[in-house]
Structure 1
């Protein structure tokens, strides 16, 4: 795998395992409103989607006002418990440090709110460790729209030839495809190798330690 000048990463199930926190927050809302038949795996399969889309899928609700109210209840719960129930994958710190040492820029593009990402990042990394973090509140259209990727590339003065996007799910693969970026899929989450192989990719890897750095 060649060296890139810029590496853009998804957050959940790519850099971190936030599944415990996410399940707790969804369960808090779903149980409250009587959706007790939704299992944890179904919840985990929505990681990477916007909260509104995830709740619509899990509950069958389509009304905008109801979905917004569910999202607000989720966010209030996440304010209390998300960061404490999120952990870095074991290889991530070493990989990111190596990328920075080789002179590459690194960033995060996520549907998760930027302030939530930064709450976690500030606990585990020095200030300014990431060159950019783009969250759900920073874009008008969520992934797989390339808006967030293009915004990050503009801020970092990067171009498509020298930028790699790394993510764990189909939404990430679609985002990279829409942005015309090379894509590496990582199998940290619930998306299978076969699902990712259906999209253009440089590699599908078991963990980020497979990203070779010089």
Structure 2
């Protein structure tokens, strides 16, 4: 069995670090910082897409992304926490399956975060934004993760907190399971998958008890 995890809102809460880094990026260019609610509504999308949705002109987007990343890399470990029971979820999953991470975060920073939290050793692959041309909801990140894993690919699950995770899983032909501990509501997630649970541990318990 293979179980792929999203990061933000599924295993980790980096909201504080994300909001602070967005604030720094906008202030770097002396622009008004969008409301926290507007930024949080976009979490899960790639940074460039987030900035564009929030009104940054296309020609300036990558300047904002760079400013964001320069600050985020300094604070991410200190201002990111594991979600409740996330560690237990990963430990349980590792007893039953080969594990991977599929995220729209930068892979380099994602690996640093998971190493800092003592979890990276459980994952055989991590696919980040720079590893693919097309991020979630496109299936490419899922395909890339599966291609790097030597395991039974007939039983595969994607665990995430947004419909982008669910759509990527469906497009890649694998099972999906949503968690409400992140940025998606039960009502919205229920439109994307039949399997909605409170957190990653509940999701993994459901998967491994099958």
- Residue 122 of structure 2 aligns to a residue in which SS? coil
Distance in 2 between residues matched to 1:127 and 1:120, nearest whole Å? 8
- Gap regions ≥5 residues in structure 2: none
Counterpart residue number, 2:196: 204
Instruction: State the superposition RMSD in angstroms.
Output: 1.7
Aligned length: 206
CA 1:127 to 1:62, structure 2 compared with 1: closer, same or farther past 3 Å?
closer
Q: Provide TM-score, normalisation by structure 1.
A: 0.90
Q: Summarize deviations over 1:103-157 as a string: whole Å, max 9, x none.
A: x111100011111011111112266321111111111111111111111111113
Cα displacement string for residues 21-57 of structure 1 (whole angstroms, at most 9, x for unaligned residues):
0000001112333443621111111111111110011
Moved over 4 A (4+): none
Superposition deviation, residue 100 in structure 1 = 1.4
Q: Displacement, 1:159?
A: 5.7
CA shift, 1:164, in A, is 0.3
Aligned to 1:81: 75
Matched, 1:14 2:10: yes
Return the alpha-carbon distance in structure 2 between the equivalents of residues 174 and 62 of structure 1: 28
1:168 to 161, 183, 190: 161
1:148 matched to 2:148? The reply is no
Q: CA deviation at 1:158?
A: 4.5
- Work out whether residues 184 and 202 of structure 1, in 8 Å CA contact, stay in contact via their aligned partners in 2: yes
Report if aligned partners of 2:139, 2:172 keep a CA contact under 8 Å in 1.
yes
